Structure 1
Amino acid sequence: MSLLFPKNITKRLLSVFLTICITAALILTGCSPGTGYGQNKAFRSFTKELFCREVSSNTISLHYSLKNPEKYGIKETSISFGDISSDSRTAYASLENLRAALGKFSYDMLSEENQLTYDVLDYYLQTAEKNTEYLLYQEPLGLVGGIQTQLPVLLSEYQFYNTKDVDTYLELMKSTPQYFDSLIDFEKKKSAAGLFMADFEADTVISQCTAFMGMGENNYLISTFVDRIAQLDLSPKEQSQYIKRNAQMLQNYVLPAYNQLILAVQKLKGTGKNEKGLCYLPDGKAYYEQIAAEYTGSDRSVPEMEELTRRQIISDLEAMEKVLQKVGNEAKETAAMGEENPVTILNELEAKTGKAFPDPPQTVTLVKYVPEAMEKYLSPAFYMIPAIDNTDENVIYVNQSQMKNNLTLYTTLAHEGYPGHLYQTIYYAEKNPDPLRSIFNFGGYVEGWATYAEMCSYYLSPLNKNQAILLQKNSSIILGLYALADMGIHYEGWSRLDTIAFFKNYGIKDAKIVDQIYELIIGSPGNYLKYYIGYVEFLELKKKWVKKEGENYSQKEFHDAVLSVGPATFELVEKYMWKEIEK
């Protein structure tokens, strides 16, 4: 089971491990009439029940998944963040029961859409069962997208549709100490098992928490609350009372919880027995193989992923050489990227997306900026996935400190917006898929698509073709090197010096920068694979599509096919994309 937290881009922001509780009532749902209609009806009842149980397992999950939970039959639920469990036996038993319930359905009698949902759920449950062997290898305090940095973002984007939402939010803040207690307990168990983080990781976590606590009156949980409360129909007195309560909850519950986390990490620091890759832990290599498969959605082994990466890097280098041989240094001159307004850029990207991609549905997008105090600790940008019943409201955060130039801003907004995350999300939502599909986290598909979109955006920009090729291939190569380093460090056992030597071979000679990359990869194993392997798997699918379609090949049709399948493993995407073209 994995934390549904992002690396570069924020996905469905659930702050707990995905745990699936199955009851006798659910199992009995699998016993359905022997007709095709009966099987399909029973299956959709089964997936709806599972979806409702999962999203209502904690307040954050419910609020971020559904704007109107009552329309799904979800009524009053307890207010909490949930907790973080290390009980592998209970988790395995629950998953085993759920797979047994799933197996009661006649696969051949299900509709194509339900067969796809069945396949996705079956894969996810098998993966989750394997993950129960490695629960204590999980790291909820990851350096990229850990709970300590994501929780404030989750709270700041918690939408207020009415005063009940405000009251729930304040109670949720009040429960932060209990949630952090379960987090601390989990870290203590990791420590006892010899699996606690390296000292440099602990220092980073402490710095991240300290930065949040040090905001004082400028804490964005205060300013964003004021902005959100102003949208409701409240009197000045009522607004003032709510604002005061929010400040009290922050001061009396949230900040003390962060302080307790700092103290706990400080106390546990030094108990970690490994400052190198996962393969140096007892079952670390097997665990890395597991997360490589899960994070990418690829059925390739790690050595096969390494080979795929090397082949793509060579292909990109050859493409760059062809351009340089043809036009020389002229192509190295970067075209002027005058536009620096994110909204204008997004509008431009949306308009250009229609040329090679299916037309996107209409939606509203709000661009926000990461608070200055947190710029050092948050990603370059991230997209907040909307509730599945409210996809016409979207938010993209931009970290201004990491926007080196206007081209970086342009390609980043393509990754987050059009034709990246936002586009993929709302386009798939238009297909009205089974709600259960929304709870699964297929990082390779989602991040791979966004990276693919980012690479496409170079050719949508004002750059001329040769400049676009050079810069896009260079970007692809750098990401490929990060992916190779990820596998090298965690699977092959590279040391810091090995990593420095590897990057030096490709002209990256700043040892300090490489050292930072090394520590980032140590703190987020498998993270770069989601982006790069996912991206290259889409390129591989496109090659197969071109080969089969020949002269009839259409980029727009290919994009429609893979987007219509939705997030899944690449084996399933390939299986069902051919069915899309037959429709």
Structure 2
Amino acid sequence: MKLSFHRPTSRILIAGTLCLVFLLGTVLGWANTHLFSADSRFEQFTEELFQKEVSGNMLNLHYSLAYPEKKGIQRPKATLGTISLPSSQLTDTSSASLSNTSSEAEDFTSQTLKKLQTFKASGLSESNRPTLDMLLLYYKTQADYQDYSILYEPLSPSLGIQAQLPVLLAEYAFYQKQDIADYLNLLVSVEPYFESILAFEQEKSQQGYFMSDTTLDRVLDQCRSFIKEPDSNYMLDIFAEKLKSFGKLPQKEQDILIQKHKQILLNKVIPAYQNLILGLQSLRGTGRPSQGLAHLNGGKKYYEYLIKSQTGSYTPVREMQKRLAGQIAADMNNAQKILKQNPSLLRKLNSHFDLPEMEPQDILTALCQKTGKDFPALPETDYTVRYVHRSMQEYLSPAFYLTPPLDTRTPNIIYINPSDQRSNLELFTTLSHEGFPGHLYQTIFFGNTEPSDIRYLITSSGYIEGWATYIESYGYQYASNYLDDNDGSDYVCLTWLNRSINLCIYSLLDIGIHYYGWSQDEAARLLKLFGITNTNAISEIYQYIVETPANYLKYCWGYLCFLDLKTEWQTVLGNNFNPKAFHQYLLEIGPVQFPVLQKYMQKHLQKLTVKENGHSAAVNSDTKRRCSYLHLLLFSVIIKKSLQFQQCFR
């Protein structure tokens, strides 16, 4: 008989096998969640998209990232690039350059859009869904623009590249020594960059799209102002201050760099502006009359693109004008009620009743303290207030905020243009727009939510400027606390209504001039309805709007979209409406186009109504320049006149 023996399986082997199976399952589960999930694939794609977009030119990269190497991004050659001919996909004048050819830009946009369309929002996390919706809408809008890019105008007296470039270069921060070398190389590249702009303008001239002689003179005046005193140009002092603050170079090396910087400025930058002036002068008389985009071939379509890209809204133009007209009527009606109850306010309006004088730093501190009731809290934030150099005051906005790199979130710099501050109240509300709870506050708050990097680069101007304009109404409310007068609250309410009416009227003029082709005489007829008859004022308003299509709408329509969202929430929630919670939802979604914002705000509102009422509720969603030419006495215009101008669009 043959005996056989079966050796029992080792318990250690069994345990080891089970551990291996468990570990393998854990690894596969993690990989499925983090490597192969839709979220992980989407996040990887958006990061690659960010790196591709941000590294297009050195100026974009530097203002987005202080330390690009830490994100594995190699610095491109430190040049401003060129503007491509015959067209280029430029969407932001502050970006300063774009070196892709037209066909390359079209291919990139098309490929990006196709890739985005492979993702489904239902398969993404709540934080990624708005990003997908925002990117799809952005690249779809860019794709629709390709045929009209010859209409893009890189030069304008206040918002043009030639006006903004000195500020962008002057504020080029030095985080490491390489930044100093990059900055100097960027200065050297101004000359070839301006040559490409001039070539673009020559092409526009040949095709009948060059600017009017009136605009040309204003651009040339701005250029001459910058180069007027080359040996004392403000960029010289700023460079020396930045080297000193950098603190890592011996004085001898600083002196050498200061001298080199001056040579580059005198021998490269100033001549670049001089050559631009000469080249533009040679095109005098070849441009079109001073009139809106509607008079150009394709101009109406291009204006519709500008509205979408600048405001982040896709509301038809005729619906926009009705909403704007309705807001003017409502504001004037409210103003009349206040004046009827307190006629003595007219005397104070005419006597230039004002806030006591306050330093900008004190105003910003006060604003920080007063936002707690209406807005979620922020951690303590460092910021710096600076003044626009006298050589640029005539051509730059009343104030502006420079956003910091996303990887440092500092420095936060607010520039004030002293030539545009007409009252202490205006300074107070301007700083609410630029600082707290406006641009600076919104930027820091959204950054604290740790969004995807692409959200810093691709945003919505309508949201950003609309938010800051919407915030001004709170700025006026907060300002009333500093008026030692029983009528202080009504007074600041009237001045805010005046500001709102101004923006709406200018936005209607923008539509009339660029969509309907109004002449200056036709624009004057609208202004006359509101008592504006001064010829110089009308001419200045008309010319500014001709040169900056859709600019007023970016501020005004964005503000109205936020106002409409707030009204909707108040209507649905009634006494349960919480302004702080409402603003927190808006800020957490961040800068997206308004269809995207409305979609996710509606979802928040539905959740709240379910929570409050125990059932689903139907929710329906309807849906810089600071000019002071409109005198406060326009409130005495009878209300029916606010409706008459609607006939101008029929």
CA 1:432–1:304 in 2, change beyond 3 Å: closer, same or farther?
A: same
Per-residue deviation at 1:82? Answer: 2.3
Partners of 2:34 and 2:70 lie apart in 1 by 28
Q: What per-residue deviation string (whole Å, max 9, x for no partner) do you get for residues 97-144 of structure 1?
A: 111122223432111211111111110101111111111111111233
Per-residue deviation at 1:185? Answer: 1.6
Partners of 2:112 and 2:444 lie apart in 1 by 30
Paired residue type of 1:261? L
Q: Say whether residues 1:546 and 2:561 are aligned partners.
A: no
Question: Secondary structure of 2:542's match?
Answer: helix
Q: Which moved more, 1:485-494 or 1:73-82?
A: 73-82
Per-residue deviation at 1:482? Answer: 0.7
Paired residue type of 2:273? Y
Q: 2:218 aligns with which of 196, 204, 210?
A: 204
Question: Secondary structure of 1:377's match?
Answer: coil
Instruction: Map 1:506-517; keep pairs closer than 5 Å.
Output: 506-517=530-541
Q: 1:216 aligns with which of 223, 230, 235?
A: 230
CA 1:89–1:163 in 2, change beyond 3 Å: closer, same or farther?
A: closer
Aligned to 2:631: none
Q: Say whether residues 1:307 and 2:331 are aligned partners.
A: no
Q: Which moved more, 1:32-41 or 1:509-518?
A: 32-41
Aligned to 2:403: 385
Q: Which moved more, 1:73-82 or 1:563-572?
A: 73-82
Instruction: Map 1:90-129; keep pairs closer than 5 Å.
Output: 90-129=104-143
Q: TM-score, normalised by structure 1?
A: 0.92
Q: 1:395 aligns with which of 396, 413, 417?
A: 413
Q: What per-residue deviation string (whole Å, max 9, x for no partner) do you get for residues 81-100 of structure 1?
A: 12212254432222111111
Instruction: Map 1:250-289; keep pairs closer than 5 Å.
Output: 250-289=265-304
Partners of 1:541 and 1:331 lie apart in 2 by 32
Q: What per-residue deviation string (whole Å, max 9, x for no partner) do you get for residues 443-487 of structure 1?
A: 111111111111221101024221121111011101111111111
Aligned to 2:71: 72
- Asked if the contact 1:331/1:470 (under 8 Å) is kept, the reply is no
Per-residue deviation at 1:254? Answer: 0.9
Paired residue type of 1:501? R
Q: Which moved more, 1:98-107 or 1:447-456?
A: 98-107
Aligned to 1:531: 555
CA 1:472–1:541 in 2, change beyond 3 Å: closer, same or farther?
A: same
Q: Which moved more, 1:421-430 or 1:502-511?
A: 502-511
Partners of 1:76 and 1:443 lie apart in 2 by 27
Per-residue deviation at 1:551? Answer: 1.8
Runs (4+) of structure 1 exceeding 3 A deviation are 32-37, 87-90, 578-583
Partners of 1:174 and 1:287 lie apart in 2 by 34
Question: Secondary structure of 2:77's match?
Answer: coil
Question: Secondary structure of 1:372's match?
Answer: coil
Question: Secondary structure of 1:397's match?
Answer: strand
- Asked if the contact 2:371/2:437 (under 8 Å) is kept, the reply is yes
CA 1:188–1:285 in 2, change beyond 3 Å: closer, same or farther?
A: same
Partners of 2:450 and 2:48 lie apart in 1 by 17
Q: What per-residue deviation string (whole Å, max 9, x for no partner) do you get for residues 308-341 of structure 1?
A: 1000000000110111111112365265411331
Q: 2:343 aligns with which of 313, 328, 331?
A: 328
Question: Secondary structure of 1:328's match?
Answer: coil
Per-residue deviation at 1:418? Answer: 0.8
Aligned to 1:340: 358
- Asked if the contact 1:339/1:345 (under 8 Å) is kept, the reply is no
Aligned to 2:56: 57
Partners of 2:408 and 2:207 lie apart in 1 by 43
Per-residue deviation at 1:580? Answer: 4.8
Question: Secondary structure of 1:143's match?
Answer: coil
Partners of 2:452 and 2:235 lie apart in 1 by 34
Count of residues in correspondence between the two structures: 552
Instruction: Map 1:313-462; keep pairs closer than 5 Å.
Output: 313-330=328-345, 333=348, 335-461=353-479, 462=482
Partners of 2:34 and 2:367 lie apart in 1 by 48
Per-residue deviation at 1:33? Answer: 7.4
Partners of 2:186 and 2:312 lie apart in 1 by 34
Partners of 2:228 and 2:604 lie apart in 1 by 52
Partners of 2:604 and 2:451 lie apart in 1 by 14
Partners of 1:573 and 1:556 lie apart in 2 by 17
Question: Secondary structure of 2:208's match?
Answer: coil
Partners of 1:525 and 1:221 lie apart in 2 by 30
Paired residue type of 2:495? L
Q: Which moved more, 1:393-402 or 1:174-183?
A: 174-183
Q: 1:184 aligns with which of 198, 203, 210?
A: 198
Question: Secondary structure of 1:455's match?
Answer: helix
- Asked if the contact 1:561/1:578 (under 8 Å) is kept, the reply is no
Partners of 2:542 and 2:188 lie apart in 1 by 37
- Asked if the contact 2:33/2:40 (under 8 Å) is kept, the reply is no
Partners of 1:300 and 1:366 lie apart in 2 by 38
Q: What per-residue deviation string (whole Å, max 9, x for no partner) do you get for residues 125-164 of structure 1?
A: 0111111111111111123311001110001100011221
CA 1:76–1:457 in 2, change beyond 3 Å: closer, same or farther?
A: closer
CA RMSD of superposed structures (Å): 1.7
Aligned to 1:13: none
Larger Rg: 2
- Asked if the contact 2:386/2:413 (under 8 Å) is kept, the reply is yes
Question: Secondary structure of 2:415's match?
Answer: strand
Report percent identity of matched pairs.
41
Partners of 2:158 and 2:124 lie apart in 1 by 40
Partners of 2:102 and 2:181 lie apart in 1 by 34
- Asked if the contact 1:274/1:281 (under 8 Å) is kept, the reply is no
Q: Which moved more, 1:151-160 or 1:139-148?
A: 139-148
CA 1:336–1:184 in 2, change beyond 3 Å: closer, same or farther?
A: closer
Partners of 1:504 and 1:300 lie apart in 2 by 28
- Asked if the contact 1:451/1:531 (under 8 Å) is kept, the reply is yes
Partners of 1:290 and 1:62 lie apart in 2 by 26
Runs of at least 5 residues in structure 1 that lack an aligned partner in the other structure = 1-31
Paired residue type of 2:52? R
- Asked if the contact 1:427/1:563 (under 8 Å) is kept, the reply is yes
Paired residue type of 2:395? Y
Q: Say whether residues 1:570 and 2:588 are aligned partners.
A: no
Per-residue deviation at 1:522? Answer: 0.6
Per-residue deviation at 1:530? Answer: 0.3
Q: 2:523 aligns with which of 499, 515, 540?
A: 499
Question: Secondary structure of 1:354's match?
Answer: helix
Per-residue deviation at 1:77? Answer: 2.2
Instruction: Map 1:98-177; keep pairs closer than 5 Å.
Output: 98-177=112-191
Partners of 1:33 and 1:283 lie apart in 2 by 49
Partners of 2:543 and 2:32 lie apart in 1 by 55
Aligned to 2:582: 558
Partners of 1:106 and 1:282 lie apart in 2 by 38
- Asked if the contact 2:463/2:592 (under 8 Å) is kept, the reply is yes
Paired residue type of 2:109? L
Partners of 1:415 and 1:331 lie apart in 2 by 27
Higher relative contact order at CA 8 Å, sep ≥6: structure 1 or structure 2?
A: 1
